[in-house]
Amino acid sequence: MTGIVSHDGIKQLVLVSGRAHPELAQSVADALGIDLVPTTAYEFANGEIYTRFGESVRGADAFVLQSHASPINQWIMEQLLMVDALKRASAKTITVVAPFYGYARQDKKHRGREPISARLMADLFKTAGADRLMSIDLHSAQIQGFFDGPVDHLWAMPILTEYVRTRVDLSNVTVVSPDAGRIRVAEQWAAKLGGGPLAFVHKTRDIRRPNQAVANRVVGDVEGRSCVITDDLIDTAGTITGAVRVLLEAGAKDVIVAATHGVLSAPAVDRLQECGAREVIITDTLPIDDDKRFPKLTVLSVAPLIARAIREVFDDGSVTSLFDGNA
């Protein structure tokens, strides 16, 4: 069955996917109990992208899933074209499902004459014809206000914390924020892990040099304790591995790293393997190729979360209910 028809027979749900992360799309479709809409997509000789759906989507509530992996601009453009195709094929509603939202780190101006790229992304999807956005662990909550329409901001925290609880002694764990800006998230993590103490790593960053930060010292009780560092993403892993080093130097018993998005740009894999962390835990919001996997890496699936959120939206239910009313 390609789609889901509502109990009253009035509405139809269809799921379409780009080529960035077909494994995740198939897992979401399996969780929903449907097939993906057959889609043709390829590049012309000059790099232009062509997309076409193999079935009618007229009158359907369409969900177009594409995680913004590398090469990020290609996959964003493909998703924009798929949204435009859905609009011109008379889909009733179009929801952009971007588990990892591209350009989210550029959500404000640090210096003069810079773009706010995360806002531009939202404008592009709206112009293409999207009625709704759905994403997981946006870099900052303010991005929800950039889109002129509903935004479903999903949390991977329940998936991550449920696993981490099986990997640590809850009576001897400290949750660590890699910088002062994510203390609020670390507090929520600590509550999920039994209410232990918090710590954060003081770091400095030169805004003129991307992907470079220096971890200076840890603030909080970490000596002799298992530490869990939480972050929204790991790109080149400089921030995370610097935090691991500072924690171990401060006497931490061991360190687990947990993050939602595994961007893992070079030299992230080498850094993570050598930093001394006991385990690195991420989700599959982005494809993790074989050359990016290593023995200490654990990848958890977000497909059930996305499938439940899609079903709640289709059934006019509550996405917030998936997070105990805390989202």
List, by residue number, the catalytic residues.
203
Distance from CA of residue 268 to its chain's centroid?
Answer: 17
Instruction: Specify which residues 272 forms β-bridges with.
Output: none
- C-alpha 235/C-alpha 240 separation (Å) is 9
Q: Which of 65, 7, 62, 72 is nearest to 305 (CA)?
A: 65
- C-alpha 152/C-alpha 221 separation (Å) is 35
**What is 235-268 written as a DSSP string?**
SS-HHHHHHHHHHHHTT-SEEEEEEEEE---TTH
Helix (H/G/I), strand (E/B), else coil: 272: helix
Distance from CA of residue 324 to its chain's centroid?
Answer: 20
Residue with tokens 């992230």: 268
Beta-carbon contacts of 144 under 8 Å, excluding residues fewer than 6 positions away, are 138, 151, 153
